[in-house]
Amino acid sequence: MKKRKPTTAPKKEKVKKDLITLIREEPTAHRLIELLKPIPEEQWCVRRFTTLSGQCCFLGHIGVKVDKIPMDAPSRSFFNSVIVEKVRDLTKTFLDKHHKIDADGASVNNGTHINGYDEEHPKARILHMLEDMKAVGY
């Protein structure tokens, strides 16, 4: 009788996860930069999650792109979004720990009053904050 080779399970292929999935699992500054950097400045706004003309604030872009919240959804849809709250908490922790200020990413988006994030455009302020977060391991 011939001796058979033991069978082995086929090797599992590593599936590369897309950026949206990675952000849902663990939002990091690096991943958020990758998501937000390509968005043109004219698609950013302040003091509103979204506008009817297709603009979003920092957290609005997260809600629309990651959580697939419609642009015309009421504000409560963004406040109820788990990923939007995760990102808000992440930025709040960073600003509290490293700037000793009670604020979050929405505050940086909406104004130039947060320590050092005084660029004229909200996109520039947010990317500056995210780069600082990335530099210290967020």
Q: In the numeric block, which tokens belong to residue 40?
A: 């043109």
Domain residue ranges of the chain, discontinuous segments joined by +: 26-135
Cβ atoms of 28 and 131 within 8 Å: the answer is no
Instruction: Find the mean pLDDT for residues 8-20.
Output: 66
**Look-up of token digits 């999650």:** 49
Residue among 137, 135, 123 nearest 39 (CA): 123
Q: Over the stretch 39-85, which tens digit does the pLDDT of each residue have?
A: 999 999 999 999 989 999 999 999 999 999 999 999 999 999 999 99
Gap between the Cα atoms of 138 and 97, Å rounded: 12
The predicted pLDDT at position 112 comes to 81
Looking at residue 10, the DSSP 8-state letter turns out to be P
Q: Which tokens in the block code for residue 125?
A: 């302020």
